[in-house]
Homo-oligomer: A and B are copies of this chain.
Amino acid sequence: MRIAIDAMGGDHAPHAQVESALSAAAEWPDTHLILVGNPEVLQPLLGQGAPRNISIESAMEIIANDDEPVKAVRRKTNSSMVVAGRLVKDGLADAMISAGNTGALMTVGLLVVGRLKGIERPGLAAIFPTLDNVGVLALDMGANMDAKPEHLLQYALMGSVYRSKVHGIHKPRVGLLNVGTEAAKGNELTKLAFGMLEEAPINFVGNIEARDVLDGKCDVIICDGFSGNIMLKSLEGAASTIFKLLREELTSSFTSKLAAAALKPSFRRVRDRMDYNEYNGAPLLGVNGLVVKGHGSSDAKAMKTAIRQTRTAIGNGLISALADEISGK
């Protein structure tokens, strides 16, 4: 299988991208990694003894994080992200991964790779950590700001297929993000979507409140892109605030510093379990090819996690399974 990596996108690009590709190439000889970017930058990083299953695809432009997505994708046709998308579109790669500008990546998915037949609006998924360590797939995280009930239905169908094909979960439980658990709760969107989800060929477990998402009550949580983004960033913000407060408190006296030092490994484990990088590799579901978003701050380890998930998705025929599900085959 062939995976195109946008080597120039992300806070730690190109180093993290090259390092993860080298590690993946060594671990998985059946996988060909295509690093897309400026060869003059990438070649020295790869060094002389680069393995045969890594190649460089030249792309001289870079889409920056503050570029306006649609404009950047239309104008920077020789950027690493757009070229990676074109490799997928042309069948020269089975998937692409980028840790760059999220809006631009969604635009590449829509305009370069193209939508899956029957999908109006692709959705961006993310894996949240849960107490039981299984994680929950949440979508849409912000691809589609004004979702309609039928979009939520399509997210539910696609999320179910993803969990079953990529994570091997039998009959994944699908929940609808809402303000209360009763069927009649919510806004117009969730009320209409609730009825459609009940009729859908999925394991729908009803409304789930935001405070219960991390408890592992469902395997897929469905929401519109605006609410999803609010949830994602609220969780990030709360975690970051609590760890800041803890650091403040635990360095406030000599005794607490001593005790805290003894607990450092424990704190690190909790931090890691709340860390989205551990679950890196959010797919853009609904495009006609595998487009995977890495967290902007991805290091080499996080990029490798994304590569691992992408391999599983390719190996299990995710895209054709999604196409079959949407067309009702």
A250 touches B263 (CB 8 A): yes
Q: Which residues of B contact A244 (CB under 8 A)?
A: 131
Residues of chain B lying within 8 A (CB to CB) of residue A215: 237, 241
Q: Which of A244-285 contact B (CB under 8 A)?
A: 244-246, 249-250, 252, 255-256, 258-260, 262-263, 266-267, 269-270, 273-274
Shortest Cβ distance from residue A121 to the other chain B in the assembled complex, whole angstroms: 13
Bound-state Cα–Cα, A244 to B211, Å: 13
Q: Which residues of chain B come closer than 8 Å to A225, judged between CB atoms?
A: 179, 187
Contact with B along A10-33 (1 / 0, CB 8 A): 000000000000000000000000
Contact present for A146 and B188 (CB under 8 Å):
yes
For residue A203, give the distance in angstroms from its CB to the closest CB of chain B. Answer: 22
* Interface residue? A227 (CB, 8 A): yes
Identify A210's interface contact among B229, B260, B274, CB under 8 A. Answer: B229
B245 touches A256 (CB 8 A): no
Which residue in B237, B245, B260 is a CB contact (below 8 Å) of A211? Answer: B237
Query: Are B229 and A226 in contact, with the CB atoms below 8 A?
Result: no
Q: Does A266 lie within 8 Å of B238, measured CB to CB?
A: no
Contact of A146 among B187, B231, B273 (CB under 8 A): B187
State whether A238 touches B245 (Cβ < 8 A). no
A274-B245 in contact (CB<8A): yes
Find out whether the CB atom of B211 lies under 8 angstroms from the CB atom of A179.
no
Q: Tell me if A218 counts as interface (CB < 8 A to partner B).
A: no
Asked if A145 lies at the interface with its beta carbon under 8 angstroms from chain B, I say yes
Q: Which residues of A from 211 to 238 have beta carbons under 8 Å from B?
A: 211-215, 223-227, 229-238
Q: Of B227, B262, B274, which is within 8 A of A241 by CB?
A: B274
Tell me if A97 counts as interface (CB < 8 A to partner B): no
A229-B49 Cα distance, complex, nearest whole Å:
55
What does the 1/0 interface line of A190-223 toward B look like (CB < 8 Å)?
1000000000000000000111111100000001
Q: Give chain B nearest CB distance to A132 CB in angstroms.
A: 11
- Which chain B residue shows the least CB distance to A141? B179
Contact flag A145-B179 (CB < 8 Å), given A263-B256, A266-B250: yes
User: Are B263's CB and A236's CB within 8 A?
Assistant: no
Chain B residues in 8 Å Cβ range of A187: 145-146, 224-226
